[in-house]
């Protein structure tokens, strides 16, 4: 069992008459790379600022390594922050910036010097000691901000969209680097981002936030394979959602009747006693077939017409209008069909198929949060 580093208990932050953070309870484990993922304005920064001590919760409790820090000022918390804007001190050199935390704790000169040197080497900026923040690039500033926080060996490092200002290439590079550094120093990271791909590739666990709450918390795989709400299904990747009514069982599967009387099979456990549900299927898990192709008996089938084809390189994206009236998105790997030169074309009649095990179910109740 890993220890819990950060614990939020029923935390609320109210600005005026709306809740920026709305009753959040969560535990972050020691050494974990934990991400807060969500659209702009959902309360990620506010949550992070409360953990960092820059903002006090309206109600609720915040614990760091078992200690209640809800009302502790930030300089008394064993937490450091990498700010979105880096917030490097413009009047100090890179060396002095990085040493700032150690100086506050009265660490001896010689030790400060050697630790700063080590840290600048870790973030691959040796020789930058004497420069000022306005003499380095955005990516370098980001790494200095990281070094300035990490050098204090905090229990928890908070990062607020630290890669937001970087171009795509540097961003990818820094993602790998951040992950490497996190493994090397073994510190708990709480990482804020609105980029689902970034969160997926880097995190051990992700809390997907929407309107001040998180809708689902789990590892990237479970979030992608088994999203529990419409919002999560749509925010992490692309989903096809088919609304229907649970209508009996067959071969150990639950049957879901769509608007056009098509029956889909889903694992019985997913129906979970509900009658009105939405069945979800990821675009890459759906196969395209001609209406005459043989399809395994257990598979779900849905007939439709191709309305749009776009070639995306590794795959081809099809939009198929299904008979039930719902447009479906399908990704097909470009392996055989391109070499055979027989891609489906707009207007082709197709039969879609997928295995019942690949479906997920989101609650049919519209997930509108209160206070909106």
Partner 1 sequence: MTAVSQPLNPTAAATTRRPPRRFLHALDHWFLPGFTVVAIGYLLVPIVVMIIFSFNDYQGKFNFVWHGFTLQGWFHPFDWPGLPDAIKTSLFIAFLSTIGSTILGTFIGLALTRYSFKGRGAINGLIFLPMATPEIVMGSSLLTLFVNSGLQGGMLNGIVPKGVLFPLGFTTILIAHIMFNISYVVVTVKARIAGFDRRLEEAAMDLGADELTTFWKVTFPLIFPGVLAAALLAFSLSIDDFIITSFVSGTTNTFPIWAYSIIKNALPVQINVVGSMVFLGAVLIVGLSNIRQARGNRA
Ligand X SMILES: Nc1ncnc2c1ncn2[C@@H]1O[C@H](COP(=O)(O)OP(=O)(O)OP(=O)(O)O)[C@@H](O)[C@H]1O
| Candidates 39-47, 63-71, 102-110, 360-368; binding stretch for ligand X (CB under 6 A) | 39-47
Distance in Å, CB of 164 to ligand X, minimum: 9
Q: How far apart are the C-alpha atoms of 262 and 362, rounded to whole Å?
A: 19
Of 45 and 142, the one with the shorter C-beta distance to Mg ion is 45
Q: Is 79 in the site for partner 1 (CB under 8 A)?
A: yes
Of 342 and 368, the one with the shorter C-beta distance to ligand X is 368
Q: Is 40 in the site for ligand X (CB under 6 A)?
A: yes
Q: Is 75 in the site for partner 1 (CB under 8 A)?
A: yes
Q: Is 371 in the site for ligand X (CB under 6 A)?
A: no
Q: Per CB under 8 A, which of residues 53..72 are in contact with partner 1?
A: 53-54
Are the C-beta atoms of 149 and 98 separated by less than 8 Å?
A: no
Q: Is 196 in the site for ligand X (CB under 6 A)?
A: no
Q: Pick one of partner 1, Mg ion, ligand X, none as the site partner of residue 265 (Cβ within 5 to 8 A by kind).
A: none
Binding mask 150-169 for partner 1 (x = CB under 8 A): --x-----------------
Distance in Å, CB of 52 to partner 1, minimum: 6
Q: Per CB under 8 A, which of residues 81..110 are in contact with partner 1?
A: 81, 83, 85, 87-91, 100-101, 104-105
Q: Is 311 in the site for ligand X (CB under 6 A)?
A: no
Distance in Å, CB of 345 to ligand X, minimum: 41
Q: Which residues bind ligand X (CB under 6 A)?
A: 15, 20, 38, 40-46, 194
């Amino acid at each position: 069992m890993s220890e819990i580093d950060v614990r939020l208990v029923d935390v609320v932050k109210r600005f005026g008459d709306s809740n920026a953070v709305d009753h959040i309870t969560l535990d972050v484990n020691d050494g974990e790379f934990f991400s807060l993922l969500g659209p702009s304005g959902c309360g990620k920064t506010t949550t992070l600022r409360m953990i960092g001590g820059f903002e006090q919760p309206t109600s609720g409790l915040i614990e760091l390594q078992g200690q209640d820090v809800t009302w502790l000022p930030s300089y008394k918390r064993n937490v450091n922050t990498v700010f979105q804007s880096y917030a490097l001190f413009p009047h100090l050199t890179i060396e002095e910036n990085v040493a700032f935390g150690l100086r506050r704790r009265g660490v001896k000169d010689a030790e400060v010097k050697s630790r700063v040197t080590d840290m600048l080497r870790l973030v691959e900026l040796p020789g930058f000691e004497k420069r000022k923040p306005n003499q380095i690039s955005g990516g370098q500033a980001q790494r200095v901000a990281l070094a300035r926080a990490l050098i204090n060996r905090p229990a928890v490092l908070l990062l607020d969209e630290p890669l937001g200002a970087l171009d795509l290439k540097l961003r990818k590079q820094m993602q790998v680097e951040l992950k490497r550094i996190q493994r090397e120093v073994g510190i708990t990271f709480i990482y804020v981002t609105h980029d689902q791909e970034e969160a997926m590739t880097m995190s051990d666990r992700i809390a997907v936030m929407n309107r001040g709450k998180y809708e689902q918390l789990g590892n990237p795989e479970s979030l992608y394979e088994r999203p529990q709400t419409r919002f999560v299904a749509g925010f992490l990747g692309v989903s096809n959602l088919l609304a229907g009514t649970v209508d009996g069982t067959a071969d150990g599967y639950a049957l879901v009747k769509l608007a056009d009387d098509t029956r889909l099979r889903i694992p019985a456990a997913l129906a979970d006693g509900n009658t009105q549900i939405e069945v979800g299927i990821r675009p890459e898990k759906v196969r395209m077939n001609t209406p005459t192709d043989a399809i395994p008996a257990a598979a779900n089938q849905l007939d439709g017409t191709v309305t749009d084809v776009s070639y995306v390189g590794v795959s081809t994206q099809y939009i198929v209008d299904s008979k039930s009236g719902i447009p479906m998105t399908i990704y097909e790997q470009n392996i055989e069909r391109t070499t055979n030169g027989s891609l489906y074309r707009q207007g082709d009649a197709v039969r879609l198929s997928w295995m019942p095990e690949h479906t997920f179910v989101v609650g049919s109740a519209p997930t509108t949060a209160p206070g909106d």
